[in-house]
Each structure stands twice: as C-alpha cells, then as structure tokens.
C-alpha cells in the first residue's frame, strides 16, 4: 500500500499534459510520442525531427518489424529485446517503445535533431 501511495503521489504531482500541435490525432502513437518527448525533457522544437525520424523508421507503428534485420517497434530497436529494460511489454506497448527510444536518442545523440541529421547522413541512427 505504501508503494501505491507513493506512486499516486508522483502521478498527482505531474504537470498537465502538454498541448498537442493541431495536426496530431490525440489518440495516436504520434500524440503519445509528443507528450512523452516533452515529459522526457526534450523541448517542443525537437518534435519535427523526432516525428520525421520515427515516421521514416516505422510510420509510428508499434508493431513494425523489419524482416531482414529484426529491428522492431516505433524506434526500430535492434535488437528489439533491448527495449525490455524499460518494460516487459515492449512488443505491444507503444509507450514502452517510445520511452526506450527517447532514452536511446538522448544517450547516443543528445537530441532528436542530431539523431535525424545522423540518419540523413548514414541511413540509420
């Protein structure tokens, strides 16, 4: 019960949901991605880069799989099992995939713009 109480307290302290850009369907994986990106700490000006990157990688489809490489999900993790560090539901949960992808981008590139620029140069990120 104490653990549940602490979790409820953390949730209550969260800031309201970031307002979505008008062109994003509120019930879509893109909307989830935008909100997670802002909550993760990336500024809103990183959205065009993240959106372009994951649109190209998976079309924001959390079930997308590259049959030749085995890359999987919205961020096209390779190997796909790396996303399990965020949640055991990585195969089916777009939120888990997005959180892993944001952490990967932050750790490897610093921000979505640099990940996009790398992808433009090399064809991968």
Q: Is the residue at 21 inside a domain?
A: no
The reply to whether 111 falls in a domain is yes
Residue 15 is assigned to a structural domain of this protein:
no
pLDDT at position 112: 98
Q: Does the pTM of the predicted model rise above 0.95?
A: no
The pLDDT, as a whole number, for residue 18 is 74
Angle ∠(33,37,41) on CA atoms, nearest 5: 170
Number of domains, the chain: 1
Instruction: Determine, yes or no, domain membership for 94.
Output: yes
Percent of the chain past pLDDT 70, that is, above it, reads 87
Please give the residue range of the domain that contains residue 53.
29-122
- Which regions in the chain score pLDDT beneath 70? 1-16
In a domain, 23, yes or no: no
Q: Are 89 and 96 in contact (CB under 8 A)?
A: yes
């Amino acid at each position: 019960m104490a653990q549940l109480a602490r979790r409820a307290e953390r949730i209550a302290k969260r800031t309201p949901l970031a307002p979505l850009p008008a062109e994003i369907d509120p019930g879509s994986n893109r909307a989830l991605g935008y909100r997670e990106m802002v909550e993760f700490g990336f500024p809103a000006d990183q959205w065009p880069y993240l959106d372009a990157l994951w649109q190209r990688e998976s079309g924001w489809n959390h079930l997308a799989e590259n049959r030749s490489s085995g890359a999987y999900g919205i961020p096209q993790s390779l190997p796909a099992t790396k996303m399990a560090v965020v949640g055991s539901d990585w195969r089916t949960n777009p939120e888990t995939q997005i959180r892993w992808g944001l952490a990967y981008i932050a750790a490897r590139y610093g921000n979505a713009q640099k990940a996009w620029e790398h992808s433009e140069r090399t064809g991968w990120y």
